[in-house]
Amino acid sequence: MRAVLSKAPGGPETLVVEDVLDPTPKAGEVVIEVKAVGINYPDTLIIEDRYQFRPERPFSPGAEVAGVVEAVGEGVKGVRKGDRVIAVPGWGGLVERLAVKAETVIPIPEAMSFEEAAALIMTYGTSYYALKDRAQLKAGETLLVLGAAGGVGAAAVELGKAMGARVVAAASTNDKVQFALDLGADNGLIYPTGPMDKAAQKELSGEFKLATGRDGADVVYDAVGGDYADPALRAMDWNGRYLVVGFPAGIPSLPLNLTLLKSVSVIGVFWGAAVARDPQGHAANMAELMQMYADGKIKPRVSQTFPLEKAGAAIKALGDRQALGKIVVVVGD
Ligand SMILES: NC(=O)c1ccc[n+]([C@@H]2O[C@H](COP(=O)([O-])OP(=O)(O)OC[C@H]3O[C@@H](n4cnc5c(N)ncnc54)[C@H](OP(=O)(O)O)[C@@H]3O)[C@@H](O)[C@H]2O)c1
């Protein structure tokens, strides 16, 4: 089978596509014929050895896949050949066939395409865990989402609305803000693309306050970091919750006096570790997300697809800040 491989640390240009042996299912495993692979920011990090996990090389990036069960190992119950399923291996997904533990696969609802299914779990899983379990977002509260047109950001916009919040979307271009407004955000603003000096940060904080209205944001969803973090923290309301989700713009430092002044909680979000520590909580969240999809409250927006041979270009497009919603690699015909 064909596989996209990282053989040395580096950017997407270092990835190669090669023939490797087909996997066979061990006891308790199924082999999935992969149809679609969701691309996520961690794919840009893992191939450069900058992620929390460092798989042994050669390895394939690709954290989440959707496909059809092609073969079933000994002792597998509840999953059958021909089932449409999602798997979230963390890496290893940019291949034509993938062996995973049968107990970890998630059935794909009939109405959901493979592309949507491959773009669902990491982003909505992360954002739902962040907003529901970590921030305990309530109906009527104001949620400010940074990077609101990216993968986890767009999911946070939709979930914020589904949870009854007033959502303010912030992003770096007019198209991105418009994209987030189309997802249901109540208000939006464009922030600068580049690094900001103190004066520019102060100005941005004023814009965040204007856009959030009243006394500022109850919850900030920060999947961007860098120079955007300080202005967002300054635009928070009393008892605010600041969600630390990711750092594509760099790892910021926050002045702790600001948290004291407004009784703000800074809350870390590590979805992958939370899933491993609380599989039941994760399963409950997945069931709730599937229900929201069935009710039309959430829908992954796949704006670009690439074939397996161009997976490096897909990862590059994401890393270059180009993605609107999700980028997906389509495998096979
Ligand atoms: N904590 C967790 O459990 C968890 C789980 C999944 C992902 N994450 C993290 O969440 C972050 C977003 O992931 P994603 O898959 O949603 O990525 P994505 O689709 O690429 O979105 C990232 C957004 O960050 C913004 N950005 C600002 N500066 C950037 C820069 N220099 N380069 C690239 N993007 C920049 C971009 O929006 P603008 O252009 O509008 O600024 C972009 O839309 C990543 O840091 C990822 O590692 C964390």
- pLDDT at position 61 is 98
Residue 259: the pLDDT is 97
- pLDDT (tens, 9 = 90+) of the chain, 333 residues, equals 999 999 999 999 999 999 999 999 999 999 999 999 999 999 999 999 999 899 999 999 999 999 999 999 999 999 999 999 999 999 999 999 999 999 999 999 999 999 999 999 999 999 999 999 999 999 999 999 999 999 999 999 999 999 999 999 999 999 999 999 999 999 999 999 989 999 999 999 999 999 999 789 999 999 999 999 999 999 999 999 999 999 999 999 999 999 999 999 999 999 999 999 999 999 999 999 999 999 999 999 999 999 999 999 999 999 999 999 999 999 987
Q: What pLDDT does 281 receive?
A: 97
Cα gap 292→109, rounded to integer Å: 12
Q: Please give the Cα distance from 70 to 31 (Å, whole number).
A: 6
Between CA 159 and CA 157 the distance in angstroms is 6
Q: Is 41 in the pocket of ligand 1 (CB under 6 A)?
A: yes
User: Ligand 1 pocket, 129 CB below 6 A?
Assistant: no
Confirm or reject: Cβ of 125 under 6 Å from ligand 1.
no
Predicted pLDDT at 223: 98
**Closest ligand 1 atom to 171 CA:** 40
Cβ of 323 below 6 Å from ligand 1: yes
Q: Is the CB of 326 under 6 A from ligand 1?
A: no
Domains recognised in the chain with CATH numbers:
2-120+302-330 (3.90.180.10), 122-272 (3.40.50.720)
* Spatial CA neighbour of 300 closest among 326, 282, 321, 278: 326
| Cα 148 to ligand 1 centroid, rounded to whole Å | 9
The DSSP bridge partners found for residue 142 are 166
Judge residue 301's burial from the number of C-beta atoms within 10 Å of its C-beta, 0-12 exposed, 13-18 middle, 19 or more buried.
Answer: middle
pLDDT score of 214: 76
The pTM of the full predicted model, rounded to 2 decimals, is 0.97
Nearest CA residue ID for atom 43, ligand 1: 150
pLDDT for position 52: 87
